Amino acid sequence: MQHDIIIACLAITVVSCWIGVIGAWRMRQPTQALHYLAMPTGLGALFLFIAVLLQTGWGETTAKTIVICIVFIITNSAGAHATARAIRTRQLGHWGPRKEDGVEFIPEDRQ
């Protein structure tokens, strides 16, 4: 029974990674593709942790897996933000909002 649960957890990890890859590949805009990075780093990392925990029990391997999963989850949002910022800077030549960008924003004097 435990072996079947481990296989199911690993299968969910692999499927979430493939959904992330296919979703990122199918999106037209690079910033849309960034949304699909959350599935492998969140859901995939969680089920990988569960599989390692069931296979090895609490120990050094599980502790390392916890650290790796936490790093994945934390760096995903920071990496996505930095990538989106780099994409915007490359497309527009600047980062800050300007009136000629066609994006609605609140000027600093109205805040």
pLDDT along the chain (111 residues), means of 10: 90 90 85 80 86 89 88 83 83 72 65 52
CB contact at 8 A, 13 and 21:
no
Between the alpha carbon of residue 48 and those of residues 10, 12, 24, 41, 67, the distances in Å are 6, 9, 21, 10, 12
| pTM (predicted TM-score) | 0.67
- Residue 105 confidence (pLDDT): 65
List Cβ neighbours of 72 (8 Å cut-off, separation of 6 or more): 41, 42, 45
- Residue 7 confidence (pLDDT): 92
Sole residue written with tokens 């994409």: 87
